[in-house]
A and B are shown apart, each in its own frame.
Chain A
Amino acid sequence: MAIDASTTDEVLLIRLSAGDEAAFEALYDRRQPAIYRYALRMCGSEPIAEDVTQDVFMALMRDAAKFDGSKGTVGGYLFGVARHRVLRHLQRGKSFVPMNDALDDDARADSANVDTAADPLEALARTRTIESVRQAVLSLPLHYREVVVLCSLEEMNYAEAAEALGCAIGTVRSRLHRAREMLVERLDAVRVDGQVPARTPAVRGT
């Protein structure tokens, strides 16, 4: 049976657990970018993000047959595993190097995706804005950082984020509210004195 965009994650999971490599590849291609970005934005380290991505899909291979669709979605499950791995990395204190150091020049240029041809000054300002926001997000305490990453950057709704984080929708909403307040304060500070937000320790709860 052919795999296309309409093939659900759950079907792919069943097929990969039966040894269908194409199904595994399709599910990986579909879900990997968001998992990788989540880990990268949480840790600020490409090697850790790679490790986490690898761990998540190794866990998927191992536990595919045990997945219970009645308890949640495949996407939620993957983010849940990713979150667990990210926390473990952060708690080990391996922690991160600054994302702007981890990204090489090409990757940074790609990620900034600046339309340099249009207006160089505007492009420069935009690049700075993006970098400031990236650093401000990375400077948030962990619980706030993850709701911003999931809801504001990955554009999950509250229910999806709640499933990934294993908490109530109201908790996601209130954390996001507080996180945005903190971001506004930090970005205002950047605008005033041009300082990049200071990072918080690797693990800090609320």
Chain B
Amino acid sequence: MDCRQFQDDLSDAACGTLIEASARQAVLAHVAVCSACAARLASEHALTASLGELGRAEAGVAAPARVKSALLAAYREGNGPQMTQMERIFANQRRTGSRFLVIAASVLLLAVPVGYALWPSQKHDVESPVTPVQSAQYVDSQPPAQVLVHPMVTPTPVVRTQQKRATLRPARTVAKTTETVTDYIPLTYLDDATAMESGQVVRIDVPRSSLAAFGLPVSQDRLDERVKADIIIGDDGLARAIRFVQ
């Protein structure tokens, strides 16, 4: 074996990859007489050990639990044909993430005083201009018309108590539940051209800090918690409005 042949078998020999016994013997015989190749083999052994150490150190690394939660929720919601829509929503969430920041900054400037003033006093206001829409499975072609007539202005966080209609969620809802929700808050980066004719409402979990981004009060020590939110998604995959659920 010469140095060139040695190079060919070097990685396999150093990795412990299965190679023919005769080839291994030839490698060992070569390094016994070639100091340069012996040094190279030693380096390869050291590299193998280092990579093994890195591999072992990171063996327990895995995706955070929230990824699994989101996927399981998507599986339950969209098991079947709606999965494509769910995927668009996930993608849209990510795509619009930066836009949310811009929107949130502008909304925050205008809405914080209003939000603080109105939030505590209207917790049980049952009147709302928004028709509650229950789930992605139910809403297929009827958008909440109020979103279209909502002026793209500062959101007024009118909060109401809402009785869920169990019949709208036959797959999962077994009893009536009570929820407190804000009004739908239009996403003001949209213009008339993006007014939608149909869409879906999808419930997601978001960080509680998102409330502040939309001018709603949130306790500083609860920023890490998560709250439910309903997002209206147009057929083009763009989010049109959001409301928060308690």
A residues with CB within 8 A of B: 16, 19, 21, 24-25, 28-29, 32-33, 35-37, 40-41, 49-51, 53-55, 57-59, 61-62, 107, 110-113, 126, 129-130, 132-134, 137, 148, 151-155, 158, 173, 176-177, 180, 183-184, 187-188
Contact = CB atoms under 8 A, between A and B. Distances in A.
B84 A62 contact: yes
Q: Is the interface of A mostly helix, strand, loop or mixed?
A: helix
Contacts of A53: 63, 67
A25 B11 contact: no
Interface stretch (B23-31, B46-54, B146-154, B159-167): B46-54
Given A36-B63, A155-B55, A24 B75 contact: yes
A36 B61 contact: yes
Given A28-B71, A148-B51, A33 B63 contact: yes
Interface of B: 7-8, 10-12, 14-15, 17, 40, 43-44, 46-48, 50-58, 60-64, 67-68, 70-72, 74-76, 78-80, 83-84, 86-87, 90, 94
A50 to B, nearest CB: 5
Contacts of A61: 71, 74-75, 78-79, 83
A126 B50 CA distance: 9
B136 to A, nearest CB: 15
A133 B54 contact: yes
A184 B47 contact: yes
A53 B63 CA distance: 8
Contacts of B47: 180, 183-184, 187
Nearest to B70: A54
A62 B80 CA distance: 7
Contacts of B58: 37, 41, 111, 153
A24 to B, nearest CB: 5
A143 B74 CA distance: 33
A41 B61 CA distance: 11
A112 B61 contact: no
15 contacts: A29-B68, A36-B62, A36-B67, A40-B61, A41-B58, A50-B63, A58-B90, A59-B87, A111-B58, A111-B60, A129-B53, A130-B53, A137-B54, A158-B17, A187-B50
B64 A110 contact: no
A35 B61 CA distance: 10
Given A50-B64, A54-B90, A188-B43, A177 B70 contact: no
B8 to A, nearest CB: 8
Contacts of A126: 53
A165 to B, nearest CB: 17
Contact of A180 (B11, B67, B86): B11
Given A28-B71, A183-B47, A37 B61 contact: yes
Contact of B57 (A62, A130, A152): A130
B61 A58 contact: no
Contacts of B70: 54
Nearest to A62: B83
Contacts of A158: 17
Contact of A130 (B15, B43, B54, B64): B54
Contact of B67 (A16, A25, A50, A154): A50
B88 to A, nearest CB: 10
Counting chain A CB atoms within 10 Å of each CB, the highest count among B44, B54, B84, B87 belongs to B54
B71 A58 contact: yes
Nearest to A60: B71
Contact of A176 (B11, B68, B78): B11
A181 B35 CA distance: 17
Contacts of B72: 21, 24-25
Contact of B74 (A36, A58, A152): A58
Contact of B87 (A19, A58, A134): A58
Nearest to A110: B60
Contact of B50 (A54, A62, A129): A129
